[in-house]
Structure 1
Amino acid sequence: MNDATPRPPDPAPRFPGLHRRGFLAAGTAAGLGALALTGCGSSGGEDGSGDGRPRRGGRLRAAFAGGGASETLDPHLGNLFADAARAKALFDKLADYGPDLAAVPRLAARWEPNARLDRWRITLREAVFHDGTPVTAKDVLYSYRRIADPKKAYRAKASLEPIDLAASRAVGTRTVEFVLKRPTAELPNVLAAFGAYIVPARTQDFDRAPVGSGPFRFVSFRPGRSTVLSRNEDYWDGAPHLEELEFLVANEESARVNSLIGGQIEYAHELNPTSARAHEKGGRIGIVRLSGSVMQAFAMKTDRPPFDDPRVREAFFLIADRRELVDGALSGAGEIGNDLFGKGYEFYADTLPQREQDLGRARKLLKAAGAENLHVTLDTSAVAAGFTEAATIFRDQAARAGVKVKVRLGSKDSYWQDILDSGTLCCYRSGAMPIEAHFSQRLLTDSTTNATHWRHQDFDALYQQAQSTREKKARGAVYGRMQRRLHTEGGFLVWGFGDMVLGTAEKLRGVEAKAPANTLDWARFDKVWLR
């Protein structure tokens, strides 16, 4: 999700100097980073002796950029990293994403489709809410129907679109039958969608005493300042090691770093690469790099000149020096891309040849397209780290191919909405999601966040073919065809995949750089402990 949602001014921060807003880094509207947990640094024993056994007790203080006085604990409304981390501490989804973005069961013990893939039965595991009531099929249907309310702007609404919620029903206390509008082989991805949390039926108020089924229970909430949670001893996946978890708002990255060094917090979310380099070998704080968390790209509008000509798009693919972009715009904190989303994720087409800079061929393609003296405006903004740097670097690279690029700086508040329909070339980024979701949300004719205006009925048909294909290998082959098409003539020039950087105190254990953004093991504080 992209960094898109405007927010009101922040109140006075808990820690001085922290004001910079931090949105989730995914590609539809605001985007995400990732924290995986199970073993960074030396392990503390039960008594802190270092024998690898987790220790129970203590309060972990975790600092995130926040959303000010308008913050809410409603898990269906979140847009920020802080919202996502709080939601997964208090609530559960039916499924979540593994390290390769394949869906894994959570509250759903299993799922079973019919032969046509247009009806799925979901069997719930035995789990209880914080008030002791069981999680039932009625709670699932209530939650999904609440998210789908056309009068509300809940994040998971678009993801749930394949489900006919009016026709879906409870067929037992712990069994839901979802009726779908069309065959959907990837329904588990829907169940794992960002914000698709299960709440008790009839719940409307989430900020005074929210009740979920997650690993932590509600204690207190001060919007824009702090949230305190306590261990849920009855959690179905095992009680957390921590006694308490406190989320603190610290909007400026420098304040998160200073608070970590000063011992005021044990975990600092989303540090910049410069801070990582400065502290990585110093030993005062731990640095955790979460690779593959953020796709970095330039988006070309394929329905208007000059990028309605596939030769021009290919020329731009060949203009990019991807290593220079990663090193310059991301300070080396990432790996190069190959004009496809989802490197390392399930179904990624990793057999396609890595595209390299070739200015000679780029010039020939531009000449063949009648665009030797091309002038293009590149829209960018300080809305995301590395955007303005990437624009400047690419401008200089394009000049060496005879293309004049004018860099235009846009508003941080409206950038993501502006670039959907305006301009021809822009900086773009996305956090983690399944490759199938990237197709459905950004590359189908009716996709609501189709930033490249990629609209091809034959491509849409391939997507529907994949969704109607039960066997995974055959479905993957269809996704491979779609990616080969995009690699040849798509509108996303994907030049890199950036790391998400976390800072940890020496006494925090159980954090591992393993999973990309938005996955099950990101911000999973029920599995960490304090030495």
Structure 2
Amino acid sequence: MRDSWGRRGFLAAGAASLGALALTGCGGDDGGKSAGSGGGSPKRGGRLRAAFAGGGASENLDPHLANLFGDAARAKAQYDKLADYGADLSAQPRLAAKWEPNKTLDRWQVTLREAEFHDGRPVTAQDVLYSYRRIADPAKAFRAKASLEPIDLTASRATGARTIEFVLKRPTAEFPNVLAAFGAYIVPDKAADFDKRPVGSGPFRFVSFAPGRSAVFRRNDAYWEGAPHLDELEFVVANEESARVNALLGGQIEYAHELNPTTARAHEGHGQIEIVRLRGSAMQAFAMKTDRPPFDDPRVRQAFFLIADRQELVNGALSGAGVVGNDLFGKGYEYYAADLPQRAQDLAKARALLKAAGASDLKVTLDTSEVAAGFTEAAGIFRDQAKQAGVTVEVRVGSKDSYWSDILDSGVLACYRSGAMPIEAHISQRLLTDSTTNATHWRHKDFDAQYQQAQSTADPAQRAAVYARMQRRLYTEGGFLVWGFADWIIGTGRQVKGVDTKAPANTLGWARFDKVWLA
């Protein structure tokens, strides 16, 4: 998408048209969690301007239509979910004060905390049911719809003003992950118009919205978790990374989302802006179709695991901004199998496996695209690594517009990336026989049964043991060659404090502008 401001247009707009307020204050001690430097306490006041890539004139403020990072950040400012993901991707209570399952894990009682919408109405069970039924509407294309699929919303009911009984279609031990799903925001009962005067229960109240340009919000003093430090928050659209960086350097914004590693390296430690690295936010992988030659032979997949020099891929494709992977999703997340040996390049063993599989002179096409940073670089590096094992890799560059849909069913090997989600969600969305985004075509009924066993297991330790067995199998014969986990990089002005440096993108601590202040 082209930048709706354009780089020069953004810079020429100046601080006045962005509605900047005078920023005053003192330094703040952030305890190692925030951007910036200095000491002191949080300071109240000022407007923070945050630049994200946007969706142009088609943008809207319907939280259930949130898709881009900018959409999600705006939605988080104005609305709440029942739960959200912590830094380890475990579900943390938000509007839900508590949740309790029955013995068979197919009914959950959720109790809401006392909270108000911006118009003073209390958040009730009826608002929750309306929100979820709206998301689940088969005539709509809301992103959270698939996540809410386990709920029988016809049978679910309010049992009090602030209590809901969710009836599930099957036992679901990790039902709180459903409550935390991306886009599952709670809106008032019968809410329909979200662009003129939207009402949420979040930390900021709506002021104004110009699609493709900006959205302004003001502090909600009655917020259930405490009023934000900022007076106002403005989201501005800048699709080009260069526009975001130059606006930050020029003092026209205080927060720039999604910078590339080269930019970070150029500015880190130079004093003009702060670089915030959200570690381990994005899995980087090659997806092998396990039902198609040559990857229908597990020995070929195992050989490819051993061809990869992961550190070289991290250094070259990510400019060092990340850590090596071990062919499993979710490094550092709840249930991650951290006890498995770190896989290293072993070309001799890779060649022996290929020979045993009758694939010594293997030729394969690797699909990639400029749809994500580092994809084409990773493809080139892996091509050279494979050549050392006698494998010829032809790199095919696809369309940015259709890449993700193309690789679901076409080809045999593709560059792949994933943002943060619970390991359970990764399995259910990508690794079950009926998963709709199964890029590796991993389809095994016994694996599906293990997932159902995990979801029917109330004891967390026993459930973790099931996930450990599932991950050992994926480590041995799965279709994801996970070579790294990339940092998500944000730039801020030096006056910005309180930015959580430990929260992967799309988790609770990410884009928590109610916790940020200007020093």
Q: 1:422 to 1:337 in 2, by over 3 A?
A: same
Any conservation in 2 of the 1:37–1:512 contact (CA below 8 Å)? Answer: no
Q: CA–CA distance in 2 between the matches of 1:173 and 1:209?
A: 25
- 1:356 matched to 2:344? The reply is yes
Q: Structure 1, residues 287-324: CA drift from partner, whole Å, max 9, x if none? A: 11110000000000000100000000000000000000
In structure 1, C-alpha distance between the alignment counterparts of 2:311 and 2:410, rounded to whole Å? 29
What's the counterpart of residue 509 of structure 1? Answer: 497
1:295 equivalent to 2:283? Answer yes
Are 2:7 and 2:243, in contact at CA under 8 Å, matched by a contact in 1? no
* 2-structure distance, mates of 1:176, 1:13: 47
Q: Distance in 2 between matches of 1:218 and 1:202?
A: 18
Show CA shifts across 1:206-250 (max 9, x none): 111110000000000000000000000000000000000000001
After the TM superposition, which residues 13-412 of structure 1 pair with which residues of structure 2 at under 5 Å, given as runs?
13=6, 16=9, 38-43=33-38, 50-51=39-40, 53-412=41-400
- 1:452-507 CA distances to partner (integer Å, 9 max, x unpaired)? 00000000000000000000000000000000000000000000000011101011
Deviations 1:40-64 (A, max 9, x none): 2325xxxxxx32x111110000011
- CA-CA distance at 1:97 after TM superposition: 0.5
Question: 2:64 is aligned with what amino acid?
Answer: H
Residue type at the aligned position of 1:227? A
| Conserved 8 A contact 1:377-1:423 | yes
On the 8 A contact 1:260/1:504 being kept in 2, the answer is yes
Q: Does 1:442 align with 2:411?
A: no
1:422 aligns with 2:410: yes
**Matches of 2:287 and 2:256 in 1, distance apart?**
31
| 1:425 maps to amino acid | L
Q: Give the structure 1 partner of residue 14 of structure 2.
A: none
Q: Give 2:393's aligned amino acid.
A: V
Distance in structure 2 (CA, Å) of the matches to 1:509 and 1:364: 54
Distance in 1, Cα, partners of 2:512 & 2:417:
24
TM-score by length of 1: 0.93
Quick one: distance in 1 between partners of 2:230 and 2:34? Answer: 15
Amino acid in structure 2 at the alignment position of 1:396: D
Q: Which residue of 1 aligns with 2:452?
A: 464
- Distance in 2, matches of 1:363 and 1:159, equals 42
Whichever residue aligns with residue 41 of structure 1, its letter is G
* Contact persistence 2:35–2:275 (CA under 8 A): no
Judge conservation of contact 1:37–1:523 (CA < 8 Å) in 2.
no
Q: C-alpha offsets along residues 412-464 of structure 1, whole Å, 9 cap, x if unaligned? A: 00000000000000000000000000000000000000000000000000000
For structure 1, which runs of at least 5 residues remain unmatched after alignment? Answer: 1-6, 19-35, 44-49
- CA deviations over 1:371-428 (Å, ceiling 9, x no partner): 0000100000000000000000000000000000000000000000000000000000
Q: 1:55 to 1:351 in 2, by over 3 A?
A: same
CA deviation map 1:18-38 (0-9, x unaligned): 9xxxxxxxxxxxxxxxxx995
Contact 1:37 1:527 in 2 (8 A): no
Which one-letter code corresponds to 1:16 in the other structure?
G
Unaligned ranges ≥5, structure 2? 12-30
- The one-letter amino acid paired with 1:167 is A
Contact 1:37 1:510 in 2 (8 A): no
Q: Could you tell me how far apart the structure 2 residues matched to 1:468 and 1:213 are?
A: 33
* Deviation at residue 512 of structure 1 after TM alignment: 3.2
> CA shift at 1:17, angstroms?
7.1
CA contact (8 A) 1:37 1:524 kept: no
Task: Verify the 8 A CA contact 2:36 2:495 in the aligned structure 1.
Answer: no
Whole-Å separation in 2 of the counterparts to 1:131 and 1:395: 58
For 1:204 and 1:135, how far apart are their aligned partners in 2? Answer: 16
Deviation of residue 10 (structure 1)?
5.3
- Confirm or deny: 8 A CA contact 2:500 2:510 kept in the other structure: no
Give secondary structure in 2 for the equivalent of 1:111.
strand
SS of equivalent residue, structure 1 residue 519: coil
Mapped partners of 2:285, 2:120: distance in 1 = 47
Letter in 2 for 1:366: L
Structure 1 CA distance for aligned equivalents of residues 287 and 124 of structure 2: 43
Separation in structure 2 between the aligned mates of residue 293 and residue 38 of structure 1, nearest angstrom? 16
CA displacement at 1:14 relative to structure 2: 7.9
Residues 281 and 42 of structure 1: CA distance in aligned 2, closer, same or farther (over 3 Å): closer
In structure 1, C-alpha distance between the alignment counterparts of 2:126 and 2:269, rounded to whole Å: 52
Instruction: Count residues with an aligned counterpart.
Output: 500
SS at match of 2:205: strand
Offset of residue 515 of structure 1: 1.0
Give the equivalent residue in structure 2 for 1:46. none
Partner Cα separation in structure 2 for residue 284 and residue 61 of structure 1: 17
8 Å Cα contact 1:37-1:525 kept in structure 2: no
Q: Find the aligned partners of 2:74 and 2:8 in 1 and give their Cα distance.
A: 19
Distance in 2 separating the partners of 1:117 and 1:60: 44
Q: Secondary structure at the match of 1:275?
A: helix
**Is contact 1:378-1:391 (8 Å) kept?**
yes
Aligned 8 A contact 1:17 1:252 in 2: no
Report percent identity of matched pairs: 77
8 Å Cα contact 1:10/1:67 also seen in 2: no
- Contact 1:14/1:225 (8 A) holds in 2: no
Does the CA contact (< 8 Å) of 1:108 and 1:122 recur in 2? Answer: yes
The secondary structure found in structure 2 opposite 1:167 is coil
In structure 2, give the amino acid aligned to 1:411: S
Q: Which amino acid aligns with 1:132?
A: G
TM-aligned CA deviation for residue 204 of structure 1: 1.0
Quick one: structure 1 residues 326 and 521, their matched pair in 2 at CA, closer, same or farther if it must change by over 3 Å? same
Letter in 2 for 1:40: A
Q: Aligned in 2, Cα 1:183/1:37: closer, same or farther, shift over 3 Å? A: farther
